[in-house]
Structure 1
Amino acid sequence: MKDNNSHKFIVYQMMFHLWGNTNTDLVFNGSCQRNGVTKFKDVSSKALQALAKKGFTHIYATGIIEHATMEDFSAYGSPLDHPSIVKGRAGSPFAIKDYYDVNPFLASDPAKRLEEFDEMLLRIHACGLQLILDFVPNHLARQYYSDKKPIGVIDFGANDHTDKSFDPNNNFYYLPGTQFSVPEGLDIPVPFSIPYIEIPAKVSGNNVFSAQPSKDDWFETVKLNYGIDFQHGETTYFDPIPDTWLKLLDVLTYWTNKGVDSFRCDMAEMVPVAFWAYVIPKIKAINPKITFIAEIYQPHRYHEYIFRGGFDYLYDKVGLYDALRRLMEERPEATVEDITRVWQNESGDFAEHMLRFLENHDETRINSPGFAQQNLWSTIPAMVITACLHHGPLMTYMGQEFGEQANEVEGFNMAQDRTTMFDFWRVETHQRWMNQGNFDEALLTKEEQQLDEFYVDLFQFVHSHPAIQKGQFFDLQYAQNEAYPNRKVYSFLRYTPKEKLLIVCNFDSQYSYSVDIHLPTLAKDMMQVSKVKLKLDKAFIPPALKEHNQAINEAILPPNSAYIFKIS
C-alpha cells in the first residue's frame, strides 16, 4: 500500500524526446522528421497506467521546456538557432531558449504545443502520477528568446549594460571588447552560410570567461548572473534583489500555476544558496506540496542546501552511487564499508532528503562494457540498497529496468555507454517494451523480462512495507565477528514499532556466504525486542541461481543476492 506521506516515492526518468519514438530505421545525425521523436500524445493514459502498475509514482520528463535545436520551427514563432552553438541535431535539453515554452517538435501540432502539454499533464495526474520538470537556473542558450512569455515579462539580457563585464542587475556576464568564436573541432551536421555573431562575447555556462571556449565546455550556453562578481573575489550583491532572481521567480511561478508537481534543479550548486532560500518559500506559498530536487555533487554543502536553501531532496551521486558502482564492478579497493561511510559522513542526519539512483541521463548504463556488463545481476544487491537503505526517494532511468546497453552511435553522442541527450534516436530495449503501444514484454528477451520482474518486485516490496517507507535505520557492520565477510556483505536493519526487517546483501559475484548476523544489544533495545526470531520475507536472487536451486536456503546467501528477513 503506497503511503502518500512517505518520502519513499519512486521516480521514472524519461529522456522525453526519445521516449515515445517507435522508428527503428534510424540514420546518423538524423532529423526529427527522419528519425522520429516523441509527441505529447505518446504519453497516453495506457502508457502511464503501465508505468504506475510497475510501481512508479513520479515522472521526471527531461527535455520538455524549449531548448536550442537545429530543427527549424520559425513558422511557429520559435526562431531558428544557429547550428554552430547547438550540441547535436536535437540540441541539449539544458540549453533553454524559452523558459515559458515547450519544444515545438514534441507536439503533433506545433502551434498548439502548450495545449498538448497541458493535456498530457492532466493524463499524468489522472493516473495518480506526478510530474517533475527540469528547471535550469545556471545558464541559458546563447540565443535566448521567448515568444511565449506572459505580458509584461522582459527577456533575459534585454536591458543589460553590455559594456560592463559585471553589473548586479545584468542577467549575463560579458567580455567587453571581444567577439565570441565557436570552439575549434566542431562537426556541425547542418551547415549554415551565415556566421554566428556575438559582440561582446558572453561568459559560458560553466563559468568559462573566454571568448572562445573549448568544445568540451558548455559553449552552447551562457552563465546567468545572480549578483556575484566572479572577477573580483566573488563579491555578492544580493540587496536589492537582483533582476535575475526576479525573472526566475516568475518562471517558477508560471510552471507551478500550470500544475507541475516538482522541479529538478539542474546544477543547483552553481547557483547561490541565498537565491534558493529566497525563491523556494515563495513557490511553496503558492503550492505547499510542490517539491524541489537539487543536482549537487559537493557533500560538504548538502546541509546548507537542505536546511538553509530549502531543498526537499538532493542527488546522492558522490556518496552512495559511487560506492555502489565500485562494488558492482568489483574493483580491488571496493568494500561495503564505503556504504557505512556514506550515511555516517554525508547523509546520516538527513537521509530522507537523499534521492538515490544507479542510472540517470548523465551516468554510464549499468549494462555497458564500462560498468557491469559482465555481471549485470550485481544490480540486485545494489538496487536493494538504493531502494531500502533509508527512506528517501529513488529514481530509475528509462530502459534501466531492461538492462539497456546504449551501444548505438547516434550522432553528437559518440559514447557507447550512455543514452544520447543530443540526438533524435531511440532507446532500443524500451522501444521493444512499448511494442507499438501494447506496453508489454512480448518483444523482450528472457533476461530482460527477468530483470524487469526484479524491479517491479522490488518496487512493490518498497510500497508494501512501512519499515522501508519511513522506518528507522541501523547499520550492523560494526557488530559482526571476524568471520563475517565485511568487504562483500552489507547488513542493516529498518524498523518501525510494528515492523522490523533485517536486510543482508551480497556483492560477491562468485561466492555464497552464511547468513549468520549478530544483532547487538543496542539494536535490540532500539527495536524493543529481547529474543530474535528471523523469518525470510523476501529473497532477491539472480534468475540462473533460482533455476538451478528450487528451494531457497535461508541460511546461505547466494552471489549477487539480497535476503530480507522479518524479525519477530
Structure 2
Amino acid sequence: MKGINSALVTLILIITLGCTSEKKTEIKEKSVSSKKKVVVYQVFTRLFGNTNTTNKPWGTIEENGVGKFNDFTDKALKEIKDLGITHIWYTGVPHHDVIRDYTAFGISNDDPDVVKGRAGSPYAVKDYYNVNPDLAENVANRLEEFEALIDRSHKNGLKVIIDIVPNHVARNYQSLTNPKGTKDFGADDDTSVVYHVDNNFYYTPNKAFEVPDFLNGYKPLGGEKNVLSDLKFEEYPAKWTGNGSKSVKPSFYDWYETVKVNYGISLEGKKEFDELPQGFDNEDYKKHFKFWQDKKVPNSWVKFKDIALYWTAKGVDGFRYDMAEMVPVEFWSYMNSAIKMKNPNAFLLAEVYNPKMYRDYIKKGKMDYLYDKVQLYDTIKHVMQGHGLTDNIPPIQEELKDIEHHMLHFLENHDEQRIASPEFAGSAEKGKPAMVVSTTISTAPTMVYFGQEFGEDGSENAGFGTPSRTSIFDYVGVPSLQRWVNNKQFDGGKSTKQELALRDFYKRLLNFTIKSDALMGNYKDIHKYNRDNTANYSSKILSFVRWSENEKLIIVSNFDDQKEFEFNLEVPANIIKKWNLKDGDYVVKDQLYLEKSFGLKVKEGRGTIDLQINPLESYILKLQ
C-alpha cells in the first residue's frame, strides 16, 4: 500500500533442444510443471487511457483528464497481450473515495480531510460491490462497463486481476449496490465496546474521531476551498485507523483515510476463532475449505469472502491483496480455499514483506504468490544503483528454493520508484540486466508496471503524489505512455526511438519467458564457481543455468555501468553431465536479436564459452 551508474551488459546464453507452445488455460487444475511462465501487467486503470498532457498539480478531471474502462480497446489489449503478458492487474477498480460530485447518481460526496489526493487512494475502498465512477463513460452503468472490460480482456487472451484490501476500508464505507441480504461493514456492530468478535471495526467508545494535524505545509486539495474541507469529519465513536493506530486523532503519517477491520483478534491478542490443526499447511485447498465448513468465523471473514466470490462470479480471475500480513493467516485459508473451490486456477497474490511469514501465508493461507520485495527486489536495486554486489543474489535463491515458485518478481510497481527516476537508477537502460535476472532466475511470475517498458521516470508533480513514483492519488498523465497511446491509436506513433527500442527489448524478453520450458524447470548457480575459478569475472556479473528435458539455458548478466568484460565462462562438469553433453564444439545463436553466434566448447566434461560482454547488450543464444 504504502506506495546505471554504469554501462550495462546482459548476456544470456540459452542453450535449447526445443520449445513447446503455450497451451490455453482451462478451468481445471494443472500441475506447476505443465504451466508456462506467468507475466502480470499492472496498470493503473485511471491513468492508462488519459491523453491529457496538462499535468497541473492538484488538477481536476476537467483540467488533467482521466482514463476510462473503455480506453482498453481490443487494439490496446492486443498490444498488451503481444508484449508477452498473460495476466492484467487493473489497479484501482473497486469504488474508492474520490473528490468529485457524483450525488446525481446517489453517491455521497467524500470529505477531502480524510481523502489522500483529489482522485483518492485506491486502497480506501468505499464500496466493494461497485467500481470507481471516474472510470465510466456512463456513471450509471459503471459496473456494466467494467464487466464488458472483463469480457474484452478474456477475448484478447488476458486473465483479469483486481485489488481486495481486507485490512482496512474507507472511513465512510457505504455500498449502494449490496447484493440482497448483504449488510455494510459495521452495520451491526456494537459500538459501545472497543472489541467484539463479530464487530467489523475496533472502537473508542464515547469519543469522536478528529482529523489529524496536517504537516509540512500540506493542505487538502492543495488549499482549494471545498465545503467539506473544514478540518472536521463526523465519526462517532471513533474507529481505529487502518494501520492500527488507536488514537482518535491519528498522525498525519498514519493511514488516517482508512479504518482497521477486526478479524476476531481481541485486545489481548487472542484469536477468537479456530486455528488450523498441526501439519495442515501441507493439505490442499479442498481440505482447507472442508475444515471451515462447520466452524463459526468472525463476521468480517464472511463479508470479505462474499466480496471475493462476487467478483469471481463476474469473471475476475484473481486478486492482489493489499498488506496481507496484517490479517491473520487463518482468514486467508478460509477465503482463498473458498475462491479456489470456484476457480482452481484463481491467481492469488499477496503483499507480504516479512520473510518469516512467507511460508505460513503460502502453505497455511493458500496464497499462490507473494511479493519478493525485501530480498530479490531490494538486492537487485542496490546492484542497479552501483553499490551492491551480485554475490548477494544467489543466496536469496538458495534460501527461498522451497517456495521460489511463489515469490513474484518485479522491478516496479505503484509503491516503488520508477527505474528511470533519479532517485532510483536515473536510466531505464539500467533495468535491462536486472529485468533479465528477475524474469529468468526462477519459476516465479514476473510483473511489469505500465510505463516501465517505455522508461517512464515518474517525474510529474501531481499534487499529493511525489515525483519518482507515478501518483496513485491524483489526476495525472503518464508522458511516455501517452506518446505510445498516441491519441488512443496504441501504436507508438509519438514515442521516441529510445522508448520503442526499450519496449522492443521487453517484448522480446517477456515473450521468450512465457514460451520457455527451462524457466519452469531446474536452476543452478554458477556464479560462485566462476568467481572462484574464472579470470576477469566480476562481482558485477551474475550467471546461472536453467534447464528442462527439452531446453538448456545459461544466463549471464553484467551490471557494470562502464566496463566491458572478456572471460571464458565455465560451465561446471556437474551441469555438463546433467545435460548429457559430450566433448566437442557447439554453436549457440542469439535468439533475442538474431544477430550473433557464440561457441560452447566441452572438453573433458567441462564447458567453456569465450565471452565478450559489451555495454547495453543482451543475447539469448540457442544451441543449433
TM-score range, shorter-chain basis? over 0.9
**Structure 1 residues 437, 446: closer, same or farther in 2, change over 3 A?**
same
Structure 1 residue 256 corresponds to structure 2 residue 312: yes
Structure 1 residue 50 corresponds to structure 2 residue 79: yes
Q: Is the 8 A contact 2:39 2:84 kept in 1?
A: yes
Decide which of 373, 387, 393 is 1:317's aligned counterpart: 373
Map of 2:581 onto structure 1:
529
Q: Is the 8 A contact 1:540 1:561 kept in 2?
A: no
Decide which of 373, 376, 379 is 2:428's aligned counterpart: 376
Map of 2:227 onto structure 1:
192
Map of 2:394 onto structure 1:
340
Superposed, 1:116-195 pairs within 5 Å as: 116-185=145-214, 186-189=218-221, 190-193=225-228, 195=232
Q: 1:348 Cα shift?
A: 1.0
Q: 1:113 Cα shift?
A: 0.6
Q: Is the 8 A contact 2:76 2:490 kept in 1?
A: yes
Q: 1:539 Cα shift?
A: 7.2
Structure 1 residue 455 corresponds to structure 2 residue 506: yes
Q: Is the 8 A contact 1:502 1:566 kept in 2?
A: no
Map of 2:272 onto structure 1:
237
Decide which of 323, 330, 344 is 2:386's aligned counterpart: 330
TM-score by length of 2: 0.85
Q: Is the 8 A contact 1:172 1:223 kept in 2?
A: yes
Q: 1:297 Cα shift?
A: 0.7
Q: Is the 8 A contact 1:380 1:540 kept in 2?
A: no
Q: Hey, what's the Cα distance between the residues in 1 that align with 2:323 and 2:576? A: 42
Paired residue total: 553
Q: Is the 8 A contact 2:199 2:300 kept in 1?
A: yes
Q: Give the partner amino acid of 1:217.
A: D
Structure 2 unpaired stretches of 5+:
1-20, 26-33, 275-295, 599-609
Map of 2:4 onto structure 1:
none
Moved more, 520-529 or 423-432: 520-529
Map of 2:440 onto structure 1:
388
Q: 1:77 Cα shift?
A: 2.2
Q: 1:486 Cα shift?
A: 4.2
**Structure 1 residues 531, 349: closer, same or farther in 2, change over 3 A?**
farther
Decide which of 507, 526, 531 is 1:476's aligned counterpart: 526
Decide which of 542, 546, 560 is 1:490's aligned counterpart: 542
Q: Is the 8 A contact 2:240 2:246 kept in 1?
A: yes
Q: Hey, what's the Cα distance between the residues in 2 that align with 1:20 and 1:324? A: 31
Decide which of 488, 498, 517 is 1:437's aligned counterpart: 488
Q: What secondary structure sits across from 1:236 in the alignment?
A: coil
TM-align CA RMSD:
1.9
Cα deviation 1:59-90 (Å, max 9, x = unaligned): 11100100011112122122111111000000
**Structure 1 residues 341, 192: closer, same or farther in 2, change over 3 A?**
farther
Q: Give the partner amino acid of 1:386.
A: S
Decide which of 84, 94, 102 is 1:65's aligned counterpart: 94
Map of 2:16 onto structure 1:
none
Q: Give the partner amino acid of 1:425.
A: V
**Structure 1 residues 533, 273: closer, same or farther in 2, change over 3 A?**
farther
Q: Give the partner amino acid of 1:15.
A: F
Structure 1 unpaired stretches of 5+:
none
Q: 1:7 Cα shift?
A: 5.0
Superposed, 1:265-344 pairs within 5 Å as: 265-331=321-387, 334-344=388-398
Q: What secondary structure sits across from 2:220 in the alignment?
A: coil
Q: Is the 8 A contact 1:503 1:565 kept in 2?
A: no
Q: Is the 8 A contact 2:376 2:409 kept in 1?
A: yes
Q: Give the partner amino acid of 1:2.
A: E
Superposed, 1:203-242 pairs within 5 Å as: 203-229=240-266, 231-232=267-268, 234-239=269-274, 240-242=296-298
Q: 1:11 Cα shift?
A: 1.1
Q: Hey, what's the Cα distance between the residues in 1 that align with 2:340 and 2:428? A: 41
Map of 1:509 onto structure 2:
561
Map of 1:202 onto structure 2:
239
Q: 1:567 Cα shift?
A: 5.5
Q: Hey, what's the Cα distance between the residues in 2 that align with 1:98 and 1:271? A: 20
Q: What secondary structure sits across from 2:113 in the alignment?
A: helix
Q: 1:26 Cα shift?
A: 3.5
Decide which of 423, 426, 441 is 2:474's aligned counterpart: 423
Q: 1:299 Cα shift?
A: 1.2
Q: Hey, what's the Cα distance between the residues in 2 that align with 1:477 and 1:361? A: 32
Higher RCO structure, 1 or 2 (CA under 8 Å, sep 6+): 2
Q: Is the 8 A contact 1:118 1:258 kept in 2?
A: yes
Q: Is the 8 A contact 2:49 2:488 kept in 1?
A: no
**Structure 1 residues 564, 491: closer, same or farther in 2, change over 3 A?**
farther
Cα deviation 1:272-330 (Å, max 9, x = unaligned): 11111111111111111212111111112111111111111111111111111111100
Q: Hey, what's the Cα distance between the residues in 1 that align with 2:367 and 2:538? A: 35
**Structure 1 residues 23, 412: closer, same or farther in 2, change over 3 A?**
same
Q: 1:383 Cα shift?
A: 0.3
Superposed, 1:72-111 pairs within 5 Å as: 72-111=101-140
Cα deviation 1:447-479 (Å, max 9, x = unaligned): 1111111111111221332212x1211111232
Q: Hey, what's the Cα distance between the residues in 1 that align with 2:440 and 2:325? A: 27
Q: Hey, what's the Cα distance between the residues in 2 that align with 1:567 and 1:551? A: 12
Q: 1:352 Cα shift?
A: 1.4
Q: 1:25 Cα shift?
A: 2.6
Map of 2:289 onto structure 1:
none
Q: Is the 8 A contact 1:507 1:560 kept in 2?
A: no
Q: 1:344 Cα shift?
A: 1.3
TM-score by length of 1: 0.94
Q: Is the 8 A contact 2:43 2:450 kept in 1?
A: yes
Q: Hey, what's the Cα distance between the residues in 1 that align with 2:49 and 2:413? A: 18
Q: Hey, what's the Cα distance between the residues in 2 that align with 1:7 and 1:206? A: 37
Q: What secondary structure sits across from 1:436 in the alignment?
A: coil
Q: Is the 8 A contact 1:504 1:562 kept in 2?
A: no
